[in-house]
Amino acid sequence: MTDRSADQTATTQFDLIDVERRLKSIFIGSVGNLVEWYDFYAYTAFALYFAPAFFPHSDPVVQQLNAAVLFAATFLMRPLGGWLFGFIADRYGRRLSLTLSVVCMCFGSLVIAATPTYASIGIFAPVLLALARIVEGLSLGGEYGASATYLSEIADPKHRGFYSSFQYVTLIGGQLTAIIVLLLLQKVFLTQEELYAWGWRIPFVIGAMLAIFAAVMRRGMHETEAFVEAKKNTKATGSIRALFKYPKEVLLVVGLTAGGTAAFYTFTTYMQTFVKLSVGLTADQTTYVIFGSLLFATLLQPLYGAISDRIGRKPLLIFFGVAGTLATVPILTTLQTTKSPFTAFLLICAAWLFVAGYTSINAVVKAELFPTNIRALGVGLPYAVTVSLFGGTAPAIALWFKTLGHENWFYYYLSGIICISLIIYSTMRDTKHDSAMHRHE
């Protein structure tokens, strides 16, 4: 073998090892993200069964409202989590931040699983539930920025959009997993009486066990080369003061996120309520329609991510903005009038065709806006604030319009927010071609 052939063989082996290392790191980072979102959505999926245990009241609507208030409270904690874990990720490393966030989620799930009922300890039952949800809100607020940063930095530049899209693959996958657990417990293993009595604790035990597994895996994950290099060449950052040096980028994250997060929570969290109350599908039909549409959405994420690696991020964002502005009202209006589960499924999938233009690449776009030493905080904090304002409130605003007798007003509200984001997409740079991924300051 010639020296040249030997060099080529060695280079090929090195490339294979590098690809294997990247794939392993992305898998570990993504699995942890799935576990966190499973724990988060398990609360919503099983609220019907555990609400009477924590909020005793003769009116089941009041019980659900109390549970929903705590769901909304977690969004108020997400900005604090975005700051805390963003600071840790930029100051001490992405690996530590991601590991701590999943440990916090494990704690929250264990508390919910083990808390006695109101009948046993009185007011302390909902207080402990609130504490658990606060911890989970902190965890989830920190997971997004650190996870987006890690996946973007660990990926090779040519496939960054594809690899980063797995953040939303696992994010939606967490919701799918919660639905699967719900269906298995409802249809196979437990009766309705058992679910109300004690079965609702099972998904939180599962979530805690999965979180422990994810934390152990994350302890062994590779730190990103970008962070290691930045740590050598720059002073420790991750502070709010350092973030103030990038006001344009912070505002871009807010503008990027507003329309996308409102659309995402409309077609995930709120859609289950919408097709049941407004469309009139049965509980089983609703579950299957939502499950099928989320599965379709999951498949779109890596496809759109790969497309962005070829044509850029900006075209996909503009596609989401234009289609979302024009098609949201017709889709939701038609969906409200249909009585067919299959038609409802097709309409929700049609919405996902453009919503995926945002969800698949929003993480990598934000990561590409900031230099390494402030990236996790720059992505996580403004994102968490915006999600709290526009994402977490979307179901509540929709239901408020419904109580006023003008449910269709929400359709125009959502379309308007997407249109505002479209203006941002149209004027911003394409971060694929003008990225700050390898800049340290």
What pTM was estimated for this model as a whole?
A: 0.83
pLDDT (tens digit per residue) in 398-429: 878 877 888 889 999 999 999 999 999 999 88
Give yes or no for residue 28 having a pLDDT over 80.
no
Q: Which domains does the chain have, with CATH numbers?
A: 24-427 (1.20.1250.20)
- As a whole number, the mean pLDDT across the chain is 82
Phi/psi at 79 (5° precision): -60, -40
- Cα dihedral 363, 320, 260, 169, rounded to 10, equals -50
B/e letters for 19-40, b = 16+ CB within 10 Å, e = fewer, are eeebeebbebbbbbbbbbbbbb
Give yes or no for residue 359 having a pLDDT over 90.
yes
When mean pLDDT is compared across 24-28, 41-45, 64-68, 290-294, the lowest value belongs to 64-68
Give yes or no for residue 3 having a pLDDT over 60.
no
- What is the pLDDT confidence band of residue 12, given thresholds at 50, 70 and 90? very low
CB 179 within 8 A of CB 298: no
Give yes or no for residue 115 having a pLDDT over 50.
yes
> Residue by residue, what is the 3-state secondary structure of 53-80?
HHCCCCCHHHHHHHHHHHHHHHHHHHHH
Give yes or no for residue 281 having a pLDDT over 50.
yes
- What is the pLDDT confidence band of residue 67, given thresholds at 50, 70 and 90? low
- What is the pLDDT confidence band of residue 6, given thresholds at 50, 70 and 90? very low
